[in-house]
Amino acid sequence: MATIVITDIAWPSAAIETELAHAAGHEILLAESDEHLLTLAPQADAILTCFRRVTAPVLDAAERCLTVARYGVGVDNIDVDCATDLGILVSNVPEFCTEEVADHALALALATLRNLIPATDAIRSGGWTPEAAHPSRRLRGLVFGVVGFGSTGRAVAERAAAFGFEVVVSSRALAADPSAAPPSVTRVVERDELFGLADVVSLHVPLNAETRYLVSARELGMMKDGTLLINVGRGGLVDTEALRPELDRGRLRAALDVIDPEPLPADHWLRSSPAALITPHVAFASDGSLIELATKAMSNVLAVLAGGCPPSIVNPDVLTSHVLRSIPQ
């Protein structure tokens, strides 16, 4: 019997994961805090994590851990380099929520450009003031800029084109081969050009050392007055404090499902900004995506504990490393 430590979950229960683990003869322990995770780490044969950080101290303490599996796509909350050095395989669940995140990005765009929140707030306050929705934008012909063109960026481009936006994309892969762009894409441009052209800028790149603060004061200054910035990727892609003066002046607007810091402190200025529409990191979530996520993430863990490999390995170099941890016999 192996011990699987779950660091945290963002849904009501770990019933699916627990059923799968118990069926394979393993036990589940759920960490209640960062400190508790560090305490449980020495017992862990595997770690399954959602948002809680799996740091080098945790990995160093997890002396018998074979794998760290991420509930989700990005692994910026896991010290992957440390895990690789220790011979620990890291896995993730790519594309489980592509449709949900793309839908959410378009929902944020539509709600903001059509001024739905002020209009509904007016109703809730007892009024009937059609002017609360003004000035809303005609979508057809607006330029929708997609930064990054993986599966989610592609899905967002398809949706934006269907609403009549002119879709421009910044993507290294498409820049190298523009003919690979699908019909939904009007133009492939450099990133700086996109920032200057777009009426909507939507971010769909992973968070790493290169992309942290991809949008900061310099990039914000390139954007046209009235531009909407959408982030459904990772909070660290945007320099939140650099965004503040642009929103305070009303020059730009933002629709953010992810923020740096996260969760937002109760007194954070973004909570009361009339130029920002904020959702609490829920773009990935639906009844279907959460079932898929829980099932696939736990299946990744069970594959390693059974002596095999999961279908998606973040650090494949570890497989040929002399320090790769093997199943205890």
pLDDT at 131 over 90: no
Q: Which residues pair with 5 in a beta bridge?
A: 29, 47
pLDDT tens digits, 86-96: 999 999 999 89
Token readout for 24 is 């394979």
Write down the catalytic residue from 158, 193, 262, 292: 262
Kindly tell me the burial class for residue 50, based on how many C-beta atoms sit within 10 Å of its own C-beta (0-12, 13-18, 19 or more).
middle
d(CA 292, CA 48): 15
pLDDT tens digit string along 260-293?
A: 999 999 999 999 999 999 999 999 999 999 999 9
Q: What are phi and psi of 230, to 5 degrees?
A: -115, 130
C-alpha separations of 109 from 115, 144, 285, 295 in Å: 10, 10, 18, 31
Q: Which pTM was predicted?
A: 0.88
Per residue in 143-191, pLDDT (tens digit) is 999 999 999 999 999 999 999 999 999 999 999 998 899 999 999 999 9
* Closest-CA residue to 199 (of 147, 143, 139): 143
* Percent with pLDDT over 90 in the chain: 90
251 is catalytic: no
Is 124 in contact with 97 (CB distance < 8 Å)? no
ω into 274 cis (within 30 of 0): no
Q: Tens of pLDDT along 16-62?
A: 999 999 999 999 999 999 999 999 999 999 999 999 999 999 999 99
Distance of CA 166 to the CA centre of its chain: 25
262 catalytic, yes or no?
yes
212: annotated active-site residue: no
Whole-angstrom Cα distance, residue 113 to residue 105? 12
**Is a pLDDT exceeding 90 seen at residue 133?**
no
Active-site residue identified among 70, 104, 159, 234: 234
User: 137 pLDDT band (50/70/90 cuts)?
Assistant: confident
Mean pLDDT of the chain: 95
pLDDT of 129 higher than 90: no
Of residues 70, 154, 204, 281, which has the active-site annotation?
281
Q: Measured between alpha carbons, how far is 296 from 96 in angstroms, rounded to an integer? A: 9
> What gap in Å lies between CA 159 and CA 282, rounded to an integer?
19
Instruction: For residues 4 and 2, give the distance between their C-alpha atoms in angstroms, rounded to a whole number.
Output: 6
Cα distance from N-terminal residue to C-terminal residue, the chain: 11
Ordered by where they begin, the domains of the chain are 3-96+287-320 (3.40.50.720), 98-278 (3.40.50.720)
Q: Which of 139, 195, 144, 150 is nearest to 166 (CA)?
A: 144
Integer Cα distance of 18 and 27 in angstroms: 8
Whole-angstrom distance, CA of residue 215 vs CA of residue 233: 12
